[in-house]
Amino acid sequence: SQKIEQNSEALNIQEGKTATLTCNYTNYSPAYLQWYRQDPGRGPVFLLLIRENEKEKRKERLKVTFDTTLKQSLFHITASQPADSATYLCALDIRGYSTLTFGKGTMLLVSP
């Protein structure tokens, strides 16, 4: 069965450092992968989408890589700030029809 794995333990880093979050998947070859941010008690917010033919995508302080051979995506936040503290979810379209399957998310805590 398809599986999406994200680090279950919270990632604690200091302000100004680069945060790197991992998303691994098995038994599937997705056409694209997405990253969302979720704050406590709120709905997820879309951050970035990367397609299978793209190695890297950037948006301001965010960078996503997509290695279809390793079946892995890395999500980087450079010059992290306490306001970046949230849970970050990766998602794949496994079923088709643009229905997403989400990982459980990784909580990021950025301390001043």
Does 44 bind other proteins (CB under 8 A)? Our answer is yes
Residue 1 binds other proteins, judged by CB under 8 A: no
Among 9, 27, 29, 43, binds other proteins (CB under 8 A): 43
Strand ranges across the sheet with 72-77: 3-6, 19-26, 72-77, 62-67, 56-59
Residue 84 DSSP class: G
Using CB under 8 A as the binding rule, whether residue 10 contacts other proteins is answered as: no
7 is a site residue for other proteins (CB under 8 A): no
Closer to other proteins by CB, 80 or 105: give it: 105
Distance CA 36, CA 64 (A): 12
Phi–psi pair at 105, nearest 5 degrees: 95, 155
- Contact footprint for other proteins (CB under 8 A): 4, 32, 34, 41-46, 49, 89, 93, 97-105
